[in-house]
Structure 1
Amino acid sequence: MSALELARGAIGARFRLHGRDVAHGLDCVGLAGLAYGAQVPRGYALRGGSAERIAAVVCAAGLVRAGDARPGDLVLFRAGAGQLHLGIASEIGVIHADAGLRRVVERPGVPPWPELARWRREH
């Protein structure tokens, strides 16, 4: 299955900080790990992350920086002051673990957060 299909399969899962599976809940890092089949870190705070640290983990998982936008890309956003957020690009918007809605959702349209980087698997 593609990263996009795996992310779409998690829609409706509850939000859980440091969550790593659909049954018990996911956060944005857990959703990214699920979609790309990668081990992801634990023990981080909801705020105060480093874009450089995230880039290093993503690249270590075998993803490469993407220059253009495609469905299935892993996207890093600045969601607020000191808050980074990951999502999976879709044909209609972005799939992400929404802490406010308390579940994984597919948000249509252009995401409201500034995009910092995007990655994908090379085939």
Structure 2
Amino acid sequence: MMFIDSICPKCGEINHVEHKGENILFVTCKNHHIYDHIVIPYSRTHSIKDDKRTKLEEMIVEKKFYRMSDKSTICLLIFNNGYEIEGRSTVRDVKDFRAVIGKDKAYEQALKKAMVALGAFLV
């Protein structure tokens, strides 16, 4: 058993819901909206290459990248519903750092997190 954050597609309320392995959760938010949340496990989102990814990317209104150190990059995705999700990438040794690769990895990690959190919007 675990808990996941689900965002209501009607009001944007963030709901901390119990997940017991179901593929679809039926969630009632604090404002009494009932909606379906499709659960896409983080481990299965290694390579998001389908219509759900397309829908998710269409929801992005802004992407911001920050180089936090000589080894780390952060990607901040801002969605049309106001939700913000970040992804990070880092290398062990500074000589292995490549800015383009760091941005790509951070972006992919942010998308994976978004896929889990915004599952209700991808129905």
TM-score between both structures, scaled by the size of structure 2: 0.30
The structure whose RCO (Cα within 8 Å, separation 6+) is larger is 1
Structure showing the higher strand proportion among its residues: 2
TM-score between both structures, scaled by the size of structure 1: 0.30
Whichever of the two has the greater Rg, that structure is 2
